[in-house]
Every structure is written in C-alpha cells, then in structure tokens.
A and B are shown apart, each in its own frame.
Chain A
Amino acid sequence: MKIIVAIKQVPERDAHIRIDSSGKWIEESDVQYAMNESDAYALEEALQLREKHSGEVIVVSAGPERVGTTIREALAKGADRAIHIDCNDLNQRDALGVARLIADAIRPDNADLILTGLQSDDLGYGQTGVILAELLGVPHATLILHVEKTDAGLKVKRELEAGFFQEIELPLPAALTIQSGGNKLRYATLMGIKKAKTKEMRVVTAAALDGAPVAVLDGIAHPKKQRSTQIIPGDAKQAAATLVEKLKFEARIL
C-alpha cells in the first residue's frame, strides 16, 4: 500500500504566545515547534499499515524551511521519503488554498491512501483531509481511530459524539482524517534518526497565491474575557486554605 501522510508543524503547546506587529499572526521567533498531535497519530497509523501490508509511507508538509525538522522527525520514525512544500505564507491561505497545494504536490504519486490528522492545533480548521479527498476525487471518512484493510478496500472505526462509534467501509483509494488515541505513538530510535538523514526529502516551491483567499484572516486578538473568575492569591498553601474556605462558606459545597 502506498500511503501519503500530510503533517503540519505547529507551535508547541506550552509556547508563549504574543501577537506580532502585523496583528495577523503570532511572533514566530518566540516559539518552539512540534508535529501536530493528530498528525503524529496519522503517521503512526500509516507506519503500522505498512508493517502489516508492506508498501511505502510518504510524508508531505507545507510550510517554511523550519518544517524540515518535523519532516526529519517523521522520517526518523520510519517514513520512507518526504515532500516539503516550501511556503512562507501558509497562514494567509485558507483551507482550500492549502489543500490545493498539497493535492498538486501528491497527485503524481497516485497513492492508495491519504492520511491527515483531524485538525491542526494552531488554526484548527479541521478541513484539509476532507478537501483533499474532494480535490483528488476519492471517498473519505473523518475522526478515524482504527483502520483495517479488507479485500474490498478499508473498514474503519469512526468516532461519533458522546461516546459512540461507527464502522464505515470504503474502497481504495481513499482519504482519512485520524483522531488521536487510536494507537500508541512510537519514538524515533537512534538508528532511525541516523537513517533519516539519508532519506529523500524533495522540496517543491508552493505556487504563489493567486488572488485573495475566500476566507480572509483579517486579524487576531486575545479572546474577550466574559466571566470574572475569582483568582485566589497567595502561595500554594495559602491559596489552598482560602479555596477550602470559599468552597465551604461561599459556594457551600463542602
């Protein structure tokens, strides 16, 4: 099976966030980056499918030069080769614009299966995989926790709301967006890290934005505070004691 995994590099979860001078994005120099969480699960699913059914795992990532480190990480975990779509204005493109970049880059590979994480932790559109399926003309399923290959194609387990699940059967080629938690993530081994340096990473230049996007991100801001939380002051011991008092006499819970 030839599997393509689209991965995104996003700010690390604990990153200190400041809005930049354009007011449209964050100050990037402040931030460390990591592989988007659900994309890591998508990669894991792809590696496990290859281990069961043989084939090839190709990772693709769009972004500036720094995404090379995330691509190397994926190669170190076991992906066979990579495509880096070099693009410095990713945040100005909408979900359709980014999906078009990826679709153009991966079309020649004619993969059997395309995986993405279900949503990025930064922009959070949650659309790339679904639009990719539409652009490539293949069926898709989203929020997938397990993938099983069948004679007819795939049987997948999809997460529904409120603790429900559903099985879906679909033919190949197909696209899936992967939910976190279906597998245990592997770590890169020293051997893997060494090998990654010799693996192919093809760089393609992103086509320039033609015209403005459909969904325009005009500006970012700190969310408006709506509720006044009582922040309890003091060191840990004082705060704990005050909280217990408040829960007892103000909220009357204890």
Chain B
Amino acid sequence: MSGICVVLEERDGRIGRISWEALAAGKLLAAQSGQPVSAVVIGASTESIANEAATKAVNNVIRVEHPLLAHYTSDGYTIALHQLIEKESPTAVVFPHTYQVRDFAPALAARMNEVLIGDVVAIGEGPVFTRQLLQGRLAGNYRHQGSGPCFVSVQAGAFRADAIESGSAEATNFTPTIDAAQIRTEPGEPFRGSAQTVDLGSAPLIVSVGRGIKEADNLPIVQELATALGAELAASRPICDNGWLPMERQVGSSGQTVSPKLYLAVGISGAIQHLVGMKGSQCIVAINKDPDAPIFEVADYGIVGDLFEVVPALTEAIKAAKG
C-alpha cells in the first residue's frame, strides 16, 4: 500500500472549492508520511476537470471514466472507485464531505471492511483525525486501525485550498468494469424548490432566528427586531422544518448562502450546516444563552443571555439610536 488518493468532485463543470480543500488535506497526510498524491476525477467524460486538476502540485491525475458514470449513482461510483482502490492500493482515500460523498463513501468503505472517518476538521500527527461531536459542542479524536486504506472526508472550510501550489501533472485513464444492471437507482435531473420570492443573498442586514425561539408564537419579537433594523428575517433549519417560516428563508448548506454586512443570529447554536451558509458575513452578532455555543466561534460580538430579554431590549435600543 502506498500513496494518497484524493477524489475530486465536479460542481457546475468545474472542481468545487471543497474538493481543493480535500486535496489540501490529502497533501497534509502525504507530507506526514512522505507519500505521493493522486488526484482522482470520475465521470463519463472527465477531460476538462482532469486538466483543471493537472494544474495543481499532484503526482498524477487518474481519470475514472465510463459511460455509466455520466450521472452520479451510489452504485456506479462505489463499483468504479472500489476497482480503482483495489488496483492502486493507496494508504488513504480522501474525499470532500459533500452530500454526494455522504451518499456512497460509507458503503464503499464498508465493502472493503473499512470505515469512513467523516466530516474531519483537522488532521494531526499520527495521523489523528478530529471531527465534531454533538453538533460542534465537543471534538472527538479518531485513529484508523484497519488493514486496508484509511477513508477520510473533510468538512467544508476546514483546510486551506489556497495553500496548494500549482504544478503540471500527467493524467492516466482507468476504465472500470460496470454492468448497467448493477446500477439499481435511477436518478432524475436536479431541480430548484418552489420559486424564490426573497433574495437573502443580496440583503445587507439579516436577523436570523433559531430553535431558541421555542414556539412560532414567539416569532414576533425577532420580527420586530428585524423591522427596527430594516433587516430581512432568516432562520435555521428547524424553524423552516416546523413550517414557522418558509423554506426560502433557511440559511445553510441546504438553504441560502448569505454574506450581509450584519448577520444577527438569535437562538442559533451554530451547527456546521448553518455556518457554511453565513460565515462569510462581514459582521456576525450572536445572542445565545449558552456561552459554549459554537456560534460564538464565528461571531464578532456576542451577548450571552436569554433572548426573550435581550431581543426586546435590543429592539428598543435600535429604535432609540435611530431616533
């Protein structure tokens, strides 16, 4: 066994940012153990993403190509990558922790009697893999001790994509053997949810509410704050899951990505799936009763307290400041 394989994922015809971050993680593992790094691209025709990958400092690019890989399916990707890994026998396989990777990598690892160490936020000497527990309230340190390759996926934003030097790698082809009958699911084309009537992406000020609000009947207190500020109202997932606010106001990995001048998070814990949608905001303010809530990790200003006291007081203070 030798070498590190990093499986890159295409996003709108290009390699997505989180895949470069996975590559950075792969290079870190490689540096720890003095091993070469291969970038793996997969699909029915991979020429353009293979060319993109080849501009980075990797030892080679492997193009896994087959007509049955034109659309992502768990079966297709698992079969193809399993064959590649058997042939290459790498010590580690690194993925970006995307919804697609969540869908097949656990099965791929299990097929080889291995376990994906998923959603990793840091890699230390050893290697020791750190991942979040209890929605970011604790961190767990993991070690791999299987006999096969170590499967790892990395969380968005955890590794530095811009740290990768450029290079000029050679590409090789790998053609897996796949039979159409082995692909048991039939995927449809991606589509958007119902028409969007609010564009949170261009709102300069956002007040966002989370489960700390407890009941739909309490929403007016944050609505009043938003009105006083002249801000749009947004929410974390549970608020939209409950139907208290429409889905289109959800911020996060499955909702909208926003980067306003001010993002004021009220009763939101700061789970990673929420943070990816708002951490690019210019100024983040968090109001939360739990001083250890992960939201305070990304906030510029924080008030530790009961939102039912703090929010009305803030609404008054803003009204007073505006005269």
Contact = CB atoms under 8 A, between A and B. Distances in A.
Contacts of A166: 187-191
A96 B140 CA distance: 18
A196 to B, nearest CB: 25
A190 interface: no
Contacts of B141: 217-221
19 contacts: A96-B115, A127-B106, A131-B106, A139-B75, A159-B99, A159-B254, A161-B253, A161-B254, A162-B255, A168-B188, A219-B140, A220-B138, A220-B140, A230-B300, A231-B296, A232-B302, A241-B317, A251-B301, A253-B261
A199 interface: no
Contact of A181 (B191, B192, B237, B305): B237
The prevalent SS among residues of A at the interface is mixed
Given A95-B106, A240-B314, A254-B321, A170 B185 contact: yes
A221 B139 contact: yes
B144 interface: yes
A141 B299 contact: no
Interface residues of B, number: 92
Interface string A199-227: 00000000000001111111111111111
Contacts of B321: 244, 248, 254
Q: A interface, how many residues as a size bin?
A: 35 or more
Interface string A116-156: 00100111111100110111000111110000000000000
A134 B110 contact: yes
Interface stretch (B55-63, B127-135, B171-179): B127-135
A98 to B, nearest CB: 10
A94 B115 contact: yes
Contacts of B300: 229-230, 251
Contacts of B255: 162-163
Contacts of B309: 235-236
B107 A229 contact: no
Contacts of A179: 254
B243 A139 contact: no
Nearest to B189: A166
Contacts of A232: 301-303
Contacts of B223: none
Looking at A121, A217, A229, which has the most chain B CB atoms within 10 Å of its CB? A229
B317 A244 contact: yes
B113 interface: yes
A230 B301 contact: yes
B111 interface: yes
B14 interface: no
Contact of B241 (A26, A140, A181, A219): A181
A158 to B, nearest CB: 8
Interface string B87-130: 00000000000110011101101110111111100000000100
A197 interface: no
Contacts of A169: 185-186, 188
B107 A163 contact: no
Give 3 nearest A-B pairs by CB, closest first: A181-B241, A139-B184, A127-B106
Contacts of B294: 223
Nearest to B269: A13
Contact of A164 (B191, B291, B292): B191
A225 B297 contact: yes
A165 interface: yes
A159 B140 CA distance: 28
A247 B321 CA distance: 11
A224 B142 CA distance: 16
Interface in B291-323: 291-292, 294, 296-306, 309-310, 312-314, 316-318, 320-321
A140 B143 CA distance: 28
A214 B113 contact: yes
Given A127-B118, A243-B303, A121 B186 contact: no
A175 B297 CA distance: 37
B297 A239 contact: no
